[in-house]
A and B are shown apart, each in its own frame.
Chain A
């Protein structure tokens, strides 16, 4: 069964705007990871946040984690057309349990 569920399923914004994606999960976690997938390609790891962390930054990415609500959010600031991709959250349990992803479209 899928551990993470992203929301929204699809998001369309203009360049320069911020994009926020949310993820909910069901069980206790060691960490939560965000990945990006360009169409028809493999996944690329973006950021990992551990269960004892509440916020983490990497470049234009900001991830938050609320273990009491079993939720996480990914914020992409000042989006670019090149950010167009699908974004997945995942939690480790054996392998990774992925949500269905958020499809982000950034238009010029």
Chain B
């Protein structure tokens, strides 16, 4: 069966510090991978998605970037965090083709102080 991992689970970082969140998927190959952010009490906002190694599509211009160095690894980064980067970050995957249901990781709660 497939599983998706995210770490860390929680993170408190000062403004201006760098960020690296990691997501890995097991039990499948060539998945589509997604990063979402959820602000408090809000819906999810798509940040990035990837259909293959090195292929990243950005949905929202911002202080963040994403990379996919391996087939089942997706990384969200920032060089300098802003207060507005606080939120709940969720990684998800689905099968190539991209239209069907997505499977979400447990999320990372990021607080920028």
> Which A residues lie at the B interface, using CB under 8 A?
2, 30-31, 33, 35, 40-45, 48, 88, 90, 92, 94-101
Contact segment of B13-21, B75-83, B100-108: B100-108
Q: Which residues from chain A contact B103 at a C-beta distance below 8 Å?
A: 45
Interface of B is mostly: strand
- B75-113 interface mask toward A, CB cutoff 8 Å, 1 = contact, 0 = none? 000000000000010101000001111111111010000
A-B interface contact total, Cβ < 8 Å: 61
Residue among B88, B102, B107 making CB contact with A96, cutoff 8 Å: B102
Q: Which residues from chain A contact B92 at a C-beta distance below 8 Å?
A: 43, 95-96
**Contact indicator B98/A100 (Cβ below 8 Å):** no
Q: Which residues from chain A contact B11 at a C-beta distance below 8 Å?
A: none
Contact A92/B104 with A43-B90, A98-B43, A98-B44 known, Cβ cut-off 8 Å: no
A94 and B45 alpha carbons, distance in the complex (Å):
12
Let me know if B36 is at the binding interface, CB within 8 A.
yes
Contact A42/B104 with A94-B46, A95-B36, A96-B44 known, Cβ cut-off 8 Å: yes
**Contact indicator A43/B57 (Cβ below 8 Å):** no
Which of A41, A44, A94, A101 counts the most B-chain CB atoms under 10 A from its CB? Answer: A94
Interface of A is mostly: strand
Which of B45, B101, B109 counts the most A-chain CB atoms under 10 A from its CB? Answer: B101
Contact A96/B46 with A42-B104, A44-B104 known, Cβ cut-off 8 Å: yes
Residue among B43, B57, B99 making CB contact with A100, cutoff 8 Å: B43
Residue among B44, B90, B100 making CB contact with A31, cutoff 8 Å: B100
A94 and B94 alpha carbons, distance in the complex (Å):
12
A43 and B90 alpha carbons, distance in the complex (Å):
9
Q: Can you list 16 pairs linking A and B with CB atoms under 8 Å apart?
A: A31-B99, A40-B88, A41-B106, A42-B106, A43-B104, A45-B102, A45-B103, A90-B44, A92-B100, A94-B57, A95-B46, A95-B102, A96-B44, A96-B46, A97-B46, A100-B43
Q: Which residues from chain A contact B44 at a C-beta distance below 8 Å?
A: 43, 88, 90, 96, 98
